[in-house]
Amino acid sequence: MKKKSCQVLFWVSILLVLNGAGILFSLWSQLFGAPKVGLFFEVIGFLIVGTSIMFYGMLGRRMVRECPALVETYPALKRVLPSLRWLEVCLGVVVAISLLVVLFLSGKGVYYTDYSLPVFAIREHYFLTNHGTLTEVSRSVFLLDGAGFQIGWHGLLLLVSGYVWKKLSFRGSS
């Protein structure tokens, strides 16, 4: 049983790393590529993050006691830890700034709701929603609000996914 639970823990960690790549692809496609494909990865990423939190909360603690941390099994991961700390801080700052931009623009009652095209796609007119009615805005306000929302949302998913991965991989080392 111990070996099987350790394999599950290992594969959950791998799934969280792949989830990070999927979230980054989703962000790229929402900003520049095909939003509908990105939406698929966004939903999958959200489900994986939610499931991994439940897994860590319910089963993970028992498995964590039974299994060694990934850093103990793969000592080369210790070299990654300082970079992860720096990455966490940078990602946190980017997410905070993005969400503050969205909060500032949303304080005026306007927010991004057009998911049919990428945020940076050229449009004839730029509209944000204001209490259910469309409000025409400048391109710069549209890009700030749309990109800020997408970066903030995807960044939060990445932060939570990275936090759970770090808890599983670097117990006691972080």
Q: Which of 18-27, 55-64, 83-92, 157-166 is modeled with the greatest confidence? A: 18-27
Domain ranges of the chain: 2-169
Render pLDDT for 73-94 as a digit per residue (tens, 0 to 9). 778 878 877 787 788 888 888 8
How far apart CA 5 and CA 62 sit, in angstroms, is: 9
Whether pTM exceeds 0.95 = no
Better-predicted residue by pLDDT, 21 or 56: 21
Are 117 and 135 in contact, with CB atoms under 8 Å apart?
A: no
Instruction: Give first-to-last CA distance, the chain, whole Å.
Output: 27
Q: If you average pLDDT over every residue of the chain, what do you get?
A: 80
